[in-house]
A and B are shown apart, each in its own frame.
Chain A
Amino acid sequence: MIRLLNRQGVSVFAVVSAMLFCCNSTQASSTSEWTAPDQEAAKEFAALPVELIVNIKDESPYERSLRLLDQGLSIKDMPSHYFLLDSPIIKKQEDRYGPVRFMHAKHARLVRDCAVCHHYRPEDPAVKEINRCSACHQDAFDPRVVDRTGLKAAYHLQCMECHREMAKGPLSCTGCHDKKIPDHVKLIKLVDKPEPSQVTEECLRCHENQGRDMLKTAHWLWRGPSTHTVGRSKEIEIGKGTIAFNNY
C-alpha cells in the first residue's frame, strides 16, 4: 500500500487530519449548544419499558383500515410528532449505529392511513387501539411469539420495504442512522514519539482508499484557479502539488 502511494501519498493524511481537526473544533463550538427541544422527552420515551402484547386480533389490513375509519381514528389523533428510535431492546443484542430520528408526523401525512404501519391491534378489547411498535415487537426469536419479528427487524422490514416501493426515503444504513465511529485511541498502534510519516502510515493502514481519493482532490493538488469563487479566484503556483515543504 505504502509502496503504491509513494512518498507523496504518505503525506496526504497529515493534511486530512489537520483539516478534519480544524473542522471538528469549529463545528463542536457552534453545534454542541443546540439540541431539539423535544429531544430529552423523546429519549425518555424511547427508554420506557413496555409490556409485550402476546395475542393480537387476526384481521386483514383492509378490515383494520375500515375499522379505524368507523371509529373516527385518523392521523389527527397522533399523540407525538417525533420519536427517537432508540430502544434498549435492540441495544441488548447489537449496538453499532446511532438511533434513528423518526419524523412520525411527516410519515403519517404522507401515508395518511395509520393501519399501514400499525397493522394489528391487541386481541384484548380493553387495550387501546393503536400501540407503539415495541408493544408487539421486542426480542427476536421470542418463543412466546414465534411468528413475529423482533423490534430491529420489524423496523427495518417496514421502513425499507416501504421506501423501496415508494422509491422515496433512504435504503442505506447511514441514510437513517449515524455511524458510530469506533474509539480510535484503541485502534491506533504507534510507537512513542512517532515521526509524522509514521502517523500517516498508520492512518493509511485502514483508510487506504481515502488516501488514494485524497491524492486527486484540490486539497492535495493545491494548484490552478480556485473554483466557484467568481471574481475572487487566485492562481496558485506554490503548494503541495508543486513545491512542498511539509510532504509527509
Chain B
Amino acid sequence: MKLNRRNFFKLAGVAGAGALATGAKTAEAWESKAPKDPFGCLVDLSRCVGCRKCEQGCNEVNKLLPPERPFVDMLLLNEKRRPDANSYTVVNRYFTGKSDEQDHLLPTYVKIQCMHCQDPACVSACLVGALTKKESGAVHYDVSKCIGCRYCMVACPFEIPAYEYFDPLTPRVRKCTFCFERIEKEGGVPACAAICPVEAITFGKRSSLLDQARTRMKKDPARYIDHIYGEHEVGGTSWLYLSDVEFNKVDFQDLPSEPIPKLPETIQHSLFSYLWSPIALFGVLSVVMANAKSKKNKEDES
C-alpha cells in the first residue's frame, strides 16, 4: 500500500478507533444537526458547456489571486484538476463515449466545489469549531479559530478543503464558501450561479431544487440518468447534481447514504473525553508508522 499523508491519517484514525472502542462508554445517540430548509445549488451536467466562467466569477468574488493561465484558456481542460488554495471551484472535461448523430464524441463537463454537506464530515472532524454548518446551508470556515490541524482535509469524503502550504506564517484552509455573504442577503445568488451562461447551476432552496430536478427528469427522461447525486449521499448535500451520463464515469464516488459524522463524532468524543487519549493516539500512530515503514522496506527489498 502506498502510504501518503492522507492514507496515513486514515489508518491512524481507524487504529485509534479500534484501540478505544473497548474503553469508551456507550456513545450518546447521534443526532443530525442539518438545517431544516437550507439553500442549495443544482448542477445540471447536461447543460454545462465548459466555459469556465464559474471559475472566473468565483475567483473575482472571493478576491483570489489572478490565475496563472487566463480563464479563457481551454487547454487547461486537457488535465484533470482539483480545487486548490487559489481556486474554490474547477471544471473538468470527460469523454464518456457519448456522441452526436455524426458520431463526434461529446464532452461532459463537471464543475466541482465543496458540496456543503448537510451533516459535514469536516465540521465534525474540526477540533475547535472553526468549521460550522450555517442555517443558510453554507459550511463556513473561521480562520481565527483554525489551529491548522487539517483534520477537515482528511475527513472530507470529496477531498475538498485545500491548505495554503505556500504560506509559512498564516496558512489558511481554503474551500468554496457558498458565497454565504451573498446568499444570506435577500435575492443574493452565488457568483458562479449568477455568471453561468446556461444556468447549469440553479440556485434555490434545497427542497425546491430536488423538485425541479425531478421535474426535469420527468419532462425529459431520455436526457437524464435516474439519480440525483447528493440527495442521499453522505446523508445529503446542499449541492446536487443531475447528469446525462453515469456519475461514476465522471469521477463521482459511490458513497453511503449514512452521514459520515455519525461514526467519527462518536470516536472523537470518546477520544477526547479521556485525558490519556492523546497519549494513546500518539502510541498508536508510532506503531502504525513503524509498521508501515517496515512494510515499505520489505516491499522495497522484494
Using CB atoms and an 8 Å cutoff, list the residues of chain A in contact with chain B: 93-94, 140-141, 143, 146-147, 149-150, 152-153, 156-157, 160, 164, 167, 173
CB within 8 A of B204: which of A143, A156, A164?
Answer: A143
Q: Are B211 and A146 in contact (CB under 8 A)?
A: yes
B197 in complex: contacting residue of A141, A156, A164, A167, CB < 8 Å = A156
B197 and A153: CB pair below 8 A?
A: yes
C-alpha gap A140/B47 in the complex (Å):
15
B124 at interface by CB-CB < 8 Å: no
Tell me which of A93, A164, A173 contacts B51 (CB under 8 A).
A173
On whether the beta carbons of A94 and B195 are closer than 8 Å, the reply is yes
Residues of A within 8 A of B204 (CB): 141, 143, 146
- Residues from chain B with a CB closer than 8 A to the CB of A147 are 212, 215-216
Q: Do B208 and A140 touch across chains, with their CB atoms under 8 A apart?
A: no
The residue among B193, B194, B216 with the most chain A CB atoms within 10 A of its own CB is B194
Q: Is B203 an interface residue (CB 8 A)?
A: yes
Q: Which residues of A contact B90 (CB under 8 A)?
A: none
Once A146-B212, A147-B212, A147-B215 are accepted as A-B contacts, the answer to whether A141 and B189 lie under 8 Å apart by CB is yes
Residues of B within 8 Å of A93, CB to CB, are 189, 194-195
List chain A residues, Cβ under 8 A from B194. 93-94, 140
Question: Would you give the 0/1 interface string for B30-70, flagging 1 where the beta carbon is closer than 8 Å to chain A?
Answer: 00000000000000000101010000010000000000000
B-side residues, CB < 8 A to A, are: 47, 49, 51, 57, 100, 102, 189, 193-199, 202-204, 208, 211-212, 215-216
Q: State whether A152 and B189 are in contact (beta carbons under 8 Å apart), knowing that A141-B203, A147-B212 are contacts in the complex.
A: no
A-side contacts of B208, CB under 8 Å: 143, 146
Residue on B nearest A149 in the bound complex, by CB: B199
In the bound complex, what is the Cα–Cα distance between A173 and B57 (angstroms)? 16
Q: Would you mind naming 23 contact pairs between A and B with Cβ atoms under 8 Å apart?
A: A93-B189, A93-B194, A93-B195, A94-B57, A94-B194, A94-B195, A140-B203, A141-B189, A141-B203, A141-B204, A143-B204, A146-B208, A146-B211, A146-B212, A147-B212, A147-B216, A149-B199, A150-B199, A153-B198, A156-B49, A160-B49, A160-B198, A173-B51
Report if A153-B212 is in contact (Cβ < 8 Å); known contacts: A141-B204, A160-B49.
no
Q: Report B-chain residues with C-beta under 8 Å of the C-beta of A94.
A: 57, 194-195
In the complex, the answer to whether A140 meets B198 with C-beta atoms within 8 Å is no
**From residue A17, how far is it (CB to closest CB) to chain B in Å?**
20
Q: Which residues on the B side are within 8 Å of A140 (C-beta)?
A: 189, 193-194, 199, 202-203
Which residues does chain B contribute within 8 Å of A143, judged by CB atoms? 204, 208
